[in-house]
Structure 1
Amino acid sequence: MKHLICFFTTLLLFSCSTENKIEENLETPNLETYYPDNNTDNWDAISLNELNWNEAELQPLLDYLEEKNTKGFIILYDGRIVVENYFNNHTASTNWYWASAGKTLTATVAGIANDNNLISLDEKVSTYLNQNWTSIPIDKENLITCENLLNMTSGLDDSLGDSISADNLKYIADANNRWAYHNVYLKMQDVIATASKTTFKSYFENNLKNKIGMSGSWIKLNNLNIYWSTTRSMARFGLLIQNKGKWNGTQIVSEDFIRKATSTSQNINKSYGYLWWLNGKTSYQLPQSQFEFSGSLIPNAPNDLFCALGKNDQKIYIVPSKKLVIVRMGASADASNFALSNFDNNLWEKINALIN
């Protein structure tokens, strides 16, 4: 009987030990955040196996991306490349447009200028651009602050096209009373240029682009200033934001600004920060609409996800809880769109199958 008890005790201990080892093996590795070197194209990778991801779901994801007109796709885990693929004659060295996903570059540079006391987000825009930068009454124009440009609550009419000339900036509501997706955010670039006594491009390159090793350039197109770069450069920027504005030990933009930029920035569209879209909120509004939709922006995605969304499905997804940065560049997956599309939710169904 004594031998039998010993046998079952040993069996139980072995079973518990094996179970603990399986649980340990299923945990994702706890690694120090990796930053790619600024002067080379070398970039550390980590395998699906090391992360205990479902390798069988990788090819279905890649097939779906190719079918949906994707050109570049990257998944980073804590800075390391897990997946990097190029499709439809695109390569790692090919530039592509960010479209409105590049709004987040302007927001980040505004944060840097604010950190450096060049501007104040609480200050009225006319302090930097002088009066009559719009065609609305001066008392109404003076209500519009730099923050209103970043959170899309300027109150200016968003139905008049892309031009941000004074003649095309007309009153529709007092600032802070209406959320509308509007190109007037580009006036933030003029504010930064005026305050820094240089060009926006120069300030951007010296204070953001060069510090994290990005490539690319701003190109004027139909009244818009559009950023073009490689997919890896988009991923570099996402990694900076995922790590709360820090790059390899250097704070490029303050953690406090990143927190504000990626939190609800006004009480009208809960799913919008400072030019960033936010998941996991109770409602959201979309470009060119005043309708409030109930529910989360991307139901299949983690609640703490926030993202840069650009026309025709340019995407930077950031998920702090999972240490993920995911980038998608390409033509529109289905119909042309301004920011959010059905593709977001469908893509996250495929991503979840891989990472879970």
Structure 2
Amino acid sequence: MPISFLRPLAAALGLLASLAQAETWPAADWQRGVAPSGPAVQAFEHYAFPQRDDAERKGVRSDAVVVIRDGELIYERYAGPTRAETPHLTWSVSKSLLASVLGVAYGEGRFKLDDDVARYYPAFAGHPDVHLDHLLHWASGLAWEEDYEYAPLKSSVVAMLYTRGRGDMAAFAAEHPLDAVPGKRFRYSSGDTNVLSAALRGMVGEQAYADYPWTALFEPLGIHSAVWETDAAGTYVGSSYSYLTARDLARVGLLMQRGGRWGERQLLPADWVAFNRRPFADYRPDPDKPGDAVPGGHWWLNAQLEGAAQPWPDAPEDAFAALGHWGQALYVLPSQNLVIVRYADDRDGSYRHNEFLKRALAAFTSEVQP
């Protein structure tokens, strides 16, 4: 091979090596970057950490906010009983964590997206046309009611988590009949997620399942705070009951920001992350809920769909998130190299993702991106 060809090739390889070396990854703890300050940070904190009367439980209440930029910790604040070492209940952020655990299993060749759910979870045999990708899009077609404390009598999820379904949550979900064609209708469902969690057991086997979230995801990322509750049947409550410190949850965000790669290891296949970030094809936005994010593969997207407003117009379109009850959030903004964790106790519906992200971008980047 002529030297004239080798020189540009060597230069390109050297550039790639230098870029890889320039990346910052957390070791036992996050490396700290330059902490921003000034009026924009004050405006952000005024929204995220306002003075309020907790006795009334009204208004915005952040328990923790952690901001990672370029792999470095640049902002951290806690309130109430939450501290840096506190594993906080993530509520439905757990759903996206389960998606990442499943992504590792997918990369190991343990399942395909179009596989029947019943192949891995025989209790779902009554619904032979439901595939794993239907569950991952919350599109099982099950007649499920995802109402919370404000409508407990008709709520499927309240019954699953707290009353007649809590002993075996996946089996409780499987008992629901279909009222739509699988894969054609989006209906947010914690039942879909817990069926996925039960299916994971069938994919990896009983012995491996007991530790699989740790061996597959948490340990490779250096996460040591994770707690994940199971129901009485031993199935991880993938819908709701994982706990992590804010710093540890940010590690999952960095993994997703960098396309499923952790250091030199491609922990999640690139096509799995692309699936997570692709809008569900049959999703139809509700015009009465303009701030609702777009469902992807068990993550939430700031995607601009035809005929609908962008959910968070002051954030980049490539932003996506794991979201949970009462304001839990893991925001990932790849174009800004930003990961933001927010733990909260918002109960009156006043918190707005767009307002939080708008102020965060002003505080933690050089300019707000439209």
| TM-score w.r.t. length of structure 1 | 0.78
Per-residue deviation, residues 165-218 of structure 1 (Å, max 9, x unmatched)? 156422111101211001222111111111211354511110101110112111
Partner of 1:234: 249
Structure 1 residue 218 corresponds to structure 2 residue 233: no
The SS at the match of 2:250 is helix
Partner of 1:266: 281
Cα separation, partners in 2 of 1:269 and 1:324, compared to 1, 3 Å: farther
The SS at the match of 2:100 is helix
Instruction: Give the one of 34, 39, 46 matched to 1:47.
Output: 34
Per-residue deviation, residues 255-308 of structure 1 (Å, max 9, x unmatched)? 11101111113322472111111103227xxxxxxxxx9311112211110111
Deviation at 1:242, TM superposition (A): 0.6
Aligned-partner Cα distance in 1 for 2:174–2:215: 33
CA contact (8 A) 1:151 1:266 kept: no
Instruction: Give the one of 124, 140, 150 matched to 1:133.
Output: 124
Per-residue deviation, residues 129-160 of structure 1 (Å, max 9, x unmatched)? 12x527xxx4xx11100111101111001225
* Structure 1 segments unaligned to the other structure (5+ residues): 1-28, 284-292
Structure 1 residue 58 corresponds to structure 2 residue 50: no
Partner of 1:26: none
The SS at the match of 1:327 is strand
CA contact (8 A) 1:190 1:200 kept: no
Structure 1 residue 349 corresponds to structure 2 residue 358: yes
What is the letter of the counterpart of residue 65 of structure 1? A
**Bigger radius of gyration among the two:** 1
Q: How many residues align?
A: 301
CA contact (8 A) 2:90 2:240 kept: no
Deviation at 1:349, TM superposition (A): 2.6
Structure 1 residue 148 corresponds to structure 2 residue 131: no
Q: Give runs of aligned pairs for residues 266-285 of structure 1, distance below 5 A.
A: 266-269=281-284, 271-282=294-305
Deviation at 1:323, TM superposition (A): 0.6
Cα separation, partners in 2 of 1:187 and 1:240, compared to 1, 3 Å: same
Aligned-partner Cα distance in 2 for 1:320–1:72: 21
Deviation at 1:33, TM superposition (A): 2.3
CA contact (8 A) 1:276 1:306 kept: yes
Instruction: Give the one of 325, 333, 336 matched to 2:339.
Output: 325
Aligned-partner Cα distance in 2 for 1:97–1:177: 32
Instruction: Calculate percent identity across the aligned residue pairs.
Output: 24
CA contact (8 A) 2:137 2:298 kept: yes
| TM-score w.r.t. length of structure 2 | 0.75
Instruction: Give the one of 175, 186, 197 matched to 2:205.
Output: 197
Structure 1 residue 182 corresponds to structure 2 residue 189: yes
Structure 1 residue 254 corresponds to structure 2 residue 269: yes
Cα separation, partners in 2 of 1:30 and 1:69, compared to 1, 3 Å: farther
What is the letter of the counterpart of residue 83 of structure 1? Y
Aligned-partner Cα distance in 1 for 2:246–2:187: 29
Cα separation, partners in 2 of 1:142 and 1:30, compared to 1, 3 Å: closer
The SS at the match of 1:81 is strand
Cα separation, partners in 2 of 1:167 and 1:150, compared to 1, 3 Å: closer
Aligned-partner Cα distance in 2 for 1:82–1:221: 37
Deviation at 1:91, TM superposition (A): 0.9
Instruction: Give the one of 24, 37, 50 matched to 1:34.
Output: 24
Deviation at 1:119, TM superposition (A): 1.5
Cα separation, partners in 2 of 1:166 and 1:180, compared to 1, 3 Å: closer
CA contact (8 A) 1:193 1:200 kept: yes
Q: Give runs of aligned pairs for residues 277-296 of structure 1, distance below 5 A.
A: 277-282=300-305, 294-296=308-310
Deviation at 1:220, TM superposition (A): 4.4
Aligned-partner Cα distance in 2 for 1:225–1:312: 12
CA contact (8 A) 1:133 1:166 kept: no
Partner of 2:325: 311
Partner of 1:91: 83
The SS at the match of 1:179 is coil
Partner of 1:4: none
The SS at the match of 2:80 is coil
